[in-house]
A and B are shown apart, each in its own frame.
Chain A
Amino acid sequence: MLNQTEIERLEAEAVNSAKVRQPLYAPRKKIFPKRAVGRFRSFKWLVMIITLGIYYLTPWIRWDRGPYAPDQAVLVDLANRRFYLFFIEIWPQEFFYVAGLLVMAGIGLFLITSTVGRAWCGYTCPQTVWVDLFLVVERAIEGDRNARIKLDTAPWSLDKVLKRVLKHSIWLVIGVATGGAWIFYFADAPTLFVDLFTGQAAPVAYMTVAVLTATTYVFGGMMREQVCTYMCPWPRIQAAMLDENSLTVTYNDWRGEPRSRHAKKALAAGATVGDCVDCNACVAVCPMGIDIRDGQQLECITCALCIDACDAVMDKLGRERGLISYATLSDYNANMALATAGGTQAIDPARVRRDGGRLSDKVTEFHWQKIFRPRTFVYFAAFSLAGLVMLYSLLTRDRLEVNVLHDRNPQFVMLSDGAIRNGYTVKLLNMVPEPRIITLSLEGLPGATMHAVGVDLPEGRSLDVALDPDRLKELRIFVRQPADYVEEQDNRFTFVVEDKASSENAAYRAKFMTPEDGRR
């Protein structure tokens, strides 16, 4: 007879059994954000209109710069290496202004983040704005959250195919418009617009449009919150910018907990009940698909739509708004201490309420003065300093410049009469879009004269040069000092350029080499 008890059962399990098997990769969990209505949603619509308006319309703004420069207000002219920004024209060597702008943008982001948290993420980041725009299309075609969930789980039908095709087509059109607007910053917009449709534009223009169409479509339509969570480094950095006085979207569990779906029943049973009715409205509207009641988290872009959703619910229940609100960590901690009696007991909303049910005076609320603290002053000072330095240098910068390169080989030439000749490459930069005539002259170096190769002018100590508008002119200059003057001396002298009409001038200190230099 078989006696089962004699055989010991071993502690063993297949590693790939269905119970323990894990997927190799995580599929994206679909998010169907519900439409939110409220203060922050309205503000976000406004920000969206302004930011998209700036993006799409800026290239079409005209700015008269006279006949010798383009009339587009914002233009990055890569072919001619000029950058136009309204009244500012930047040459490649002045690119540090753009670097300065980036410095300001960086510090500005610190400043904003330390005061109002991840406002950049929630309101103005292109990813947020375009996802919002894509969601508008999605909602218009497929309906709000429940309809979209239903459609998603429904089997394929003609209706579903039509809706999906329409939605993706409109998304692609938005993508093309996004890529299309981008290239208008790099060429004359009206001309390029026509060229684009007549097939005359450069291949790189079409390629740029194609690439940006693809990224817009994929990021805005497909990946959405995954871009923020997995691809963007900023959520990780921003955590370091926040402190206990920074505003973040906060679930105030000191008045919300214990949450209850059946508040009346619970109250009747004598249980403590918070304001949260656990309706999940805050989760349903979240474009990141998270639950703000789990606390501050990396995924939260602080778009504040959960505040709108929760406020609407609180209004319906006749309770005060702000169960979810913009709050600082220090305020939250103070209120939490109040609700838990210094952390000694479980949360009891009664402690933060007066007898009538309204919130108690002891509840700490955000005060605008908290924005002014040493940290924000330092950021603001750095931001302003960068801005003022740039402004000063912009207002005092030269629009006429001279650069001189001494011939390396030979450094000097002795002529048959014993005179010494030095060759220079002189570059004259006329940085205004107008032609002008400047005078180039020698200062110092007694007895010396010069002439420009290819310029039919007599040898002398100064010569007039016509400069093309907004162009660099390169001259070969031979400076000649007669033998009688060539002595051991300080052989430095100055090339001076002057625009006599505007009395602008520039100078370059140059060296005159002689055989004496070779001997030393």
Chain B
Amino acid sequence: MSDTEKNIDKISGVATTGHEWDGIRELDNPMPRWWVWTFYATIIWSIGYTVAYPAWPLISSATSGLLGYSSRQELAATLDRVAADQADLRAAVGEKPLEEILADETLRRFAASAGAAAFNVNCSQCHGSGAEGSAGYPNLNDDDWLWGGDIEAIYQTIAHGVRFTGDAETRFSEMPPFGDLLSAQETQQIAAYVASLTGDPSDDASATAGASLFADNCAACHGEDGTGDQTFGAPNLADAIWFYGATEADIATQIRKPRHGVMPGWQARLGKTTVKQLSVYVHSLGGAE
């Protein structure tokens, strides 16, 4: 009597695997034919697949596959295709004047989103990812502009920068350090006057005294009423937005020894089209004129 005969299940007449667990034995039914064929087909497929596509690891690389596929190439091809799809829009942005781009809904949207991408790469380091700025770096969302907030002025600023030595057309102005010319008391009086333009000064008497000092020393650039002048980047001192702090001490510090920010000109690096896109994006932030 052989083992095989012992392992036949009496009820079903099918052979069992011969193992037994607590009296339970497993029937050894053959596989359905379609299942076996499918299994073989997947094996054949996998062999073909590993030949056609990158698969087998080698010591420092892997087999490249007969089809020459690579995910990097696929990405490059996708990017090329996107660039080709956008070529017309990009060309239009490059050619048309900025006012026309703003008037054209499609172009404006395209330029603003392309500009947003360029902004995140090139500008967000100083101006912040939401263009919200920080001490010394202007907030581009508000309606207070040092050098002008219309689209042409914004373009000019981005293209050539501010106090940027690498560009002859850069915007330039410098406030002299009044610490050398005025006494500490005079400086304090001017600061009190400036503070009084938008709020209550610490001392009304110094503010009154500061008014004439301001007219003599500051009004030439900042204007009689302190509203500034965008042609040479003189900030508006009669509004709620302060670049280097709003307290009288902050103002006095700035009068004694002014700090000046520098922004590089971007046209040479990014090209005219991208700078135009950046301008449209900044213009779209809500404070532009």
Using a CB–CB cutoff of 8 Å, the interface residues on chain A facing chain B are: 11, 13, 15, 20, 22-28, 223, 226, 230, 407-410, 413-418, 421, 423, 453-454, 478, 483
* A410 in contact with B287 (CB, 8 Å): no
Q: How far is the CA of A428 from the CA of B118 in the complex (A)?
A: 29
- 8 A Cβ contacts from B1-37 to A: 1-2, 4-5, 15, 28-36
Contact B240 A414, beta carbon cutoff 8 Å: yes
| Residue B179 lies at the interface, judged by CB distance under 8 Å to chain A | no
The interface residues of chain B lying within 8 Å CB-to-CB of A24 are: 30-31, 36
| Docked complex Cα distance between A331 and B139 (Å) | 85
- B197 at interface, CB cutoff 8 A: no
Instruction: Check if B129 is an interface residue, CB within 8 A of chain A.
Output: yes
**Contact status A454-B34, CB under 8 Å:** no
**Distance of A171 Cα from B287 Cα, bound (Å):** 69
Q: In the complex the two chains form, is A413's CB within 8 Å of B141's CB?
A: yes
Residue ID in chain A nearest B124 by CB atoms:
A409
Do B286 and A478 have beta carbons less than 8 Å apart?
yes
On chain B, the residues within 8 Å of A413 by CB distance are 132, 139, 141-142, 286-287
Complex: chain B residue closest to A12, CB-CB? B2
Residue of B nearest to A14 (CB): B2
Closest beta carbon of chain B to A409's beta carbon, Å: 3
Task: List 10 interface pairs A-B (beta carbons < 8 Å), by A numbering.
Answer: A23-B30, A25-B33, A409-B129, A409-B130, A410-B132, A413-B141, A416-B143, A416-B240, A453-B284, A478-B286
Indicate whether A230 sits within 8 Å of B32 (C-beta atoms), given known contacts A413-B142, A423-B286: yes
Chain A nearest CB: distance from B181 CB in Å? 29
Q: Is the CB of A28 within 8 A of B32?
A: yes
- Pick the contact of A415 from B31, B132, B142, B284 — CB < 8 Å? B142
Do A226 and B34 touch (CB < 8 A)? yes
Given known contacts A20-B4, A416-B236, A418-B240, is B32 in contact with A25 (CB within 8 Å)? yes
Q: Are B1 and A11 in contact (CB under 8 A)?
A: yes
Q: Which residues on the B side are within 8 Å of A414 (C-beta)?
A: 142, 240-241
- Residues of A contacting B2 in the complex (Cβ-Cβ under 8 angstroms): 11, 13, 20
Does B88 interact with chain A (Cβ within 8 Å)? no
Supplied contacts A409-B128, A478-B286, 6 more A-B pairs, CB within 8 Å: A11-B1, A25-B33, A409-B129, A410-B139, A416-B143, A416-B236
Contact B286 A230 (CB under 8 A): no
Cα-based distance from A226 to B5 in the complex (angstroms): 29
Chain A CB count within 10 A is highest, among B30, B128, B139, B198, for B30
Separation of A416 and B236 alpha carbons in the complex (Å): 9
Closest residue of B by beta carbon distance from A229: B32
Cα–Cα, bound, A482→B31 (Å): 79
The listed residue with most B CB atoms (<10 A of its CB), out of A11, A407, A410, is A410
A226 to B284, CA, bound (A): 64
Shortest C-beta distance, B104 to chain A (Å), equals 11
Which residue of B is nearest A223, CB measured? B34
A123-B30 Cα distance, complex, nearest whole Å: 31
Q: Is there contact, CB below 8 Å, between B130 and A417?
A: no
Query: B141 to A410, Cβ gap below 8 A?
Result: yes
A13→B2 CA distance, assembly (Å):
7
Docked complex Cα distance between A26 and B37 (Å): 11
Bound form: Cα–Cα A211–B174 in Å: 74
Measured between C-beta atoms, what is the minimum distance from B226 to chain A in Å? Answer: 12
Which of B34, B142, B236 lies at the interface centre, i.e. has the most chain A CB atoms within 10 A of its CB?
B34
The answer to whether B32 touches A26, judged by C-beta atoms less than 8 angstroms apart, is: yes
Determine the chain A residues whose CB is within 8 A of the CB of B108 once the complex forms: 454
Determine if B144 is an interface residue (Cβ-Cβ < 8 Å): yes
Q: What's the minimum C-beta distance from B212 to chain A, rounded to whole angstroms?
A: 26
Query: Are B32 and A416 within 8 A (Cβ)?
Result: no
B130, A407: Cβ atoms closer than 8 Å: yes
Q: Does B80 interact with chain A (Cβ within 8 Å)? A: no
Pair B34/A22 contact, Cβ less than 8 Å: no
Is B239 among interface residues, defined by CB-CB distance under 8 A? yes
Which residues of the other chain, B, contact A478 by a CB distance below 8 angstroms? 286
Question: In the complex the two chains form, is B30's CB within 8 Å of A25's CB?
Answer: yes
A416 CA / B4 CA spacing, docked (Å): 96
Task: With CB as the reference atom, state the residue of chain A lying closest to B238.
Answer: A416
Closest 8 CB pairs of A and B: A409-B130, A416-B239, A410-B132, A418-B240, A26-B30, A25-B36, A413-B141, A416-B144
Q: Among the listed A223, A230, A409, A416, which residue makes an inter-chain contact with B241, where contact means beta carbons less than 8 Å apart?
A: A416
Q: Find out whether the CB atom of A417 lies under 8 angstroms from the CB atom of B29.
A: no
B74 sits at the interface (CB 8 A): no
Residues of the A chain whose Cβ atoms lie less than 8 Å from the Cβ of B129: 409
B residues in contact with A410, CB < 8 Å: 128, 130-132, 139, 141
